[in-house]
């Protein structure tokens, strides 16, 4: 299974942008890049996903490197509610449909007021 590498932890100040990096040098041409976050005692929450182009939604932006070997999740203005563990995951593409998600340990984001 394709692997991702993320920093164990990061800190941010409230209302500042946050850039969460992820390396996935073994990504194959059809793997999707997913980001999820998990608050304590809750299930993971979908944030965003993409294949080749940068993606934006109401929660965040996903910037994908041209060679697809890395990506960055961007939270435009961090709030205290964004403090969570963020997982970068590659979803393998089997003939046009996604396979299951293989989680790593993620990045624990702390947000300071």
> Residues 60, 106, 109, 111: which binds another protein (CB under 8 A)?
106
Look at the alpha carbons of 106, 5, 47, 101 in this order and tell me if their dihedral is positive or negative.
negative
Residue 95 or 113: which CB sits closer to another protein? 95
Burial bucket for residue 35 (CB in 10 Å: 0-12, 13-18, 19+):
buried
Per CB under 8 A, does 10 bind another protein? no
Tell me phi and psi for residue 80, to 5 degrees: -60, -30
Q: Kindly state whether residue 3 participates in binding another protein, applying the rule CB under 8 A.
A: no
- Measured from the CB atom, the residue of 6 and 70 that comes closer to another protein is 6
Q: Which stretch binds another protein (CB under 8 A): 16-24, 68-76, 101-109?
A: 101-109
Whole-number CA gyration radius for the chain:
13
Contact 68, 77 (CB under 8 A): no
Binding mask 64-93 for another protein (x = CB under 8 A): ---------------------x-x---x-x
Is residue 44 close enough to count as binding another protein by CB under 8 A?
A: yes
């Amino acid at each position: 299974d394709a692997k991702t590498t993320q920093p164990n932890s990061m800190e941010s100040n409230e209302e500042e942008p946050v850039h969460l990096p992820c390396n996935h040098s073994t990504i194959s041409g059809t793997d999707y890049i997913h980001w999820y976050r998990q608050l304590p005692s809750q299930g993971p929450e979908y944030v965003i996903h993409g294949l080749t182009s940068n993606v934006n939604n109401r929660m965040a932006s996903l910037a994908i490197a041209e060679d697809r070997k890395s990506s960055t999740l961007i939270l435009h203005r961090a709030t205290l509610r964004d403090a969570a563990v963020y997982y970068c995951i590659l979803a393998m593409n089997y003939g046009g449909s996604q396979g299951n998600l293989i989680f790593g340990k993620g990045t624990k984001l702390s947000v300071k007021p």
